[in-house]
Structure 1
Amino acid sequence: MSRTIALLTDFGLDDPYVGQMKGILAAKAPNSKIIDVSHGVEPFCISQGSFFLAAALKHFPSNTVFVAVVDPGVGSGRRIIGIELGGHTILAPDNGIIELAEANSCGSMIVTDLSETPCSITCSSTFHGRDIFAPLAAELACGASLGSLGPKLPLRDVVRTGLKKPLWMEHGVEAVVLHSDRFGNLVLNIPDSQIMPERMSMPERTVASELDCLSPRGAEARAGCVRRVSCYAELQSGAVGLIAGSQGFYELALYQGSVSDKLGYKAGDSIRLNWSV
């Protein structure tokens, strides 16, 4: 029986790219169920793709093959890797997209270097999602093992960017925005297991860091209080709150409003929270 295949990309749905990947999968693994995690990752934004992948893993059937293609280095010398993690197999460029999934997993991770597989020799230099990742996913879904497709890669050689680690300071923390959802909530890279103060403040002016998104921009916010709450309804109108969200991370939010619009942040930006108000 073929394995489930889950697709995560920054391709969007306006172009034929996702359809072409699915066409390859339908031809080579016709009995596999194909599920879209998302194709709405901001272009080239590895931090957001890493969050989407980490948030999705535990909700899929055991032994799912994930294809995570957010690949600004496509066609370059970056590696293509296969990862065995948490009962799943993940195919991805070796650019840090696996980092949050690795950090959130309790088990061990085994990585295979797939850069020299036969399909990587005759393919376009701009669309490895269709020409390499989809055929590899089909092979795995139909019974091939990662070990038959390439050599093991030492874990120390896997690319990591430090995304999983907020910068803790004496009187605050600098966090990364992993995602701004359609409601305007800002998901931060602070795990919800971390104990946070009941009240914090944001500096009058915060400049976003570049991280791994293509076109980062600065963000300005008025100085103000941030209150830790347990649900959106505890917030007064216009007040910014910090909530342990449903995806395993804290998020900044407004009640029935967009904190992303209010503060001007997006995926990949950095945010400073101070303990003193």
Structure 2
Amino acid sequence: RHAVRSAAVVLRNVIGYLPSGVHVVVVDPQVGTERRAVALRCEDGEILVGPDNGVLSLGWERCGGVVEAIDVSRSPHRLEPVSATFHGRDVFAPVAAALAAGAELAEAGRALDPDELAVIELEEPRVGDGELEAPVLAVDGFGNVTLLAASMRTPTARSAWPSTAATRRRPCASPKTPA
């Protein structure tokens, strides 16, 4: 429900396929707390808007890094009053709409040091002696397991994948497509 890490991986995987522009990501388990709301300009020109909880970090890495960061928690573009639980509606969407309509990012709030932004660190998968060890990102309702093994997408790395996998020592079908 509030899978910040999973949302960050999805953003990383799709950002390169989306039309250039302003992208809003709201997976926000800390809504109503003092966490910042941010809008970021990436090196490649993409603008990301969302909570400063790491959900945007893999996306901005894919877009070349952050060149401008703004705290939009008290943006002049937000809706008033701001509810404690609907920042997607009251803060993120109005700020993103204003930016998409041509408002200047610097005027949307207070400048931040990009080095102060929350970042999600992902474990790298390990391969050795016929074994792949990778963190589980998600398990869906059908029992499909998504592994954090994006660096394993090369043909050479894929050839090292085992033909079966084990979860808690129970064998299961080998993974087909890593996240």
Q: Please classify the TM superposition score into its range, dividing by the shorter chain length.
A: 0.7 to 0.9
Give the CA deviation at 1:80: 0.5
2:23 is aligned with 1:66: yes
Which residue of structure 2 aligns with residue 143 of structure 1? 102
- Where does 1:4-83 land on structure 2 (aligned, <5 Å)? 43-62=1-20, 64-83=21-40
Runs (4 or more) in structure 1 with deviation over 6 Å come to: none
Which residue of structure 2 aligns with residue 160 of structure 1? 119
2:162 is aligned with 1:195: no
Q: Which has the larger radius of gyration?
A: 1
Give the CA deviation at 1:116: 2.4
2:67 is aligned with 1:104: no
RMSD of equivalent CA atoms = 2.9
- Where does 1:194-233 land on structure 2 (aligned, <5 Å)? 195-196=157-158, 197-199=160-162, 202=165, 205=168, 222=170, 224=171
Aligned partner letter, 1:68: V
Per-residue CA deviation, residues 227-266 of structure 1 (Å, 9 max, x unaligned), is xxxxxxxxxxxx61233x3xxxx16xxxxxxxxxxxxxxx
1-structure distance, mates of 2:49, 2:37: 7
Unaligned runs of 5+ in 2: none
Q: TM-score, normalised by structure 1?
A: 0.53
Give the CA deviation at 1:60: 1.7
1-structure distance, mates of 2:148, 2:71: 28
Give the CA deviation at 1:167: 5.7
Unaligned runs of 5+ in 1: 1-42, 206-220, 225-238, 252-277
Q: TM-score, normalised by structure 2?
A: 0.78
How many pairs are equivalent? 171
Whether contact under 8 Å (1:166, 1:173) holds in the other structure is no
Q: Percent identity?
A: 31
2-structure distance, mates of 1:83, 1:94: 10
Whether contact under 8 Å (1:51, 1:179) holds in the other structure is no
